Amino acid sequence: MDPETITAAVANNVRAQRAHRQMTLDELAARSGVSRGMLVQVEQGRTNPSITTLTRIADALGVTVARIVEVSDTPVVRVVSARDVVTFPHGTASSARLLVGTDAPSILELWDWRLAPGEHHDGDAHPPGTREMLTVLEGELTLSVYGGSHVIGVDDAVVFSADRPHKYANRGEVPLRFVMVVTEPRETPDQ
């Protein structure tokens, strides 16, 4: 899918989700930590926001990143063809592909990550109750979360609470590929 189509979809979806919640740009900026100026650029389709920016906006709106980048309405059964998968370039030779996601009745996303040797991704803390599960298909992942580092090899899997900053790193000499599921509660649990 061409970048212009995705940028237009992001603009329309953010604007529609914000309007549906009767939220001003200033309220969305305060809730998301994304500047009002950046939100204006996103809603006007004048920028291609980063994964971090999209995640912050989606979290503030209570929807998935998949809902924000979705080009069309979600039918009861949705098959996402390879040509419709949204790819976010990351680093020099890495990428994150959002394969599919839902926002009702629960928020769920399926990602295909590729990290080149020496590259990493710093993940922001998600809302309380968010969990991430992943399995390594190729290479070796070093996951840093809760002050500790964990090495996950091929065919290994891990699940963790993602409500704190976390980091995915490829400290090896070969490309890393892992598949990740993110599940987020519809409403933030009471603390």
List the structure tokens of 118: 């020496």
CATH 1.10.260.40 in the chain is located at 3-69
Asked if the model's pLDDT at residue 191 lies above 60, the reply is: no
Calpha distance 40→29 (Å, rounded): 10
pLDDT attached to residue 106? 66
* Distinct helix (H) and strand (E) counts, the chain: 5, 10
The structure tokens 């976010």 sit at 88
Higher pLDDT, 77 or 131: 131
- Cα(70)–Cα(86) distance, integer angstroms: 9
Tokens 């790819």, located at residue: 87
CATH superfamily of 3-69: lambda repressor-like DNA-binding domains (1.10.260.40)
Q: What percent of the chain has pLDDT over 70?
A: 91
Q: Is the pLDDT of residue 166 over 80?
A: yes
The pLDDT of residue 189 is: 45
CATH of domain 82-184: 2.60.120.10
Looking at residue 113, its pLDDT comes to: 96
pLDDT band of residue 154 (cuts 50, 70, 90) is very high
> What mean pLDDT is reported for the chain?
88
| Residue 167, strand partner residues | 122, 144
Q: Count the alpha carbons within 13 Å of 98 in the hemisphere toward its beta carbon.
A: 23
State pLDDT tens for residues 40-90: 999 999 998 999 999 999 999 999 898 898 876 545 567 788 888 888 888
Higher pLDDT, 12 or 134: 134
pLDDT digits (tens, 9 = 90+) for 60-72: 999 989 889 887 6
Q: Can you tell me the mean pLDDT for 93-112?
A: 83
For the segment 114-125, the average pLDDT, to the nearest whole number, is 94
Give the mean model confidence (pLDDT) for residues 14-41. Answer: 93
CATH 2.60.120.10 domain span(s) along the chain: 82-184
Report pLDDT for 185.
77
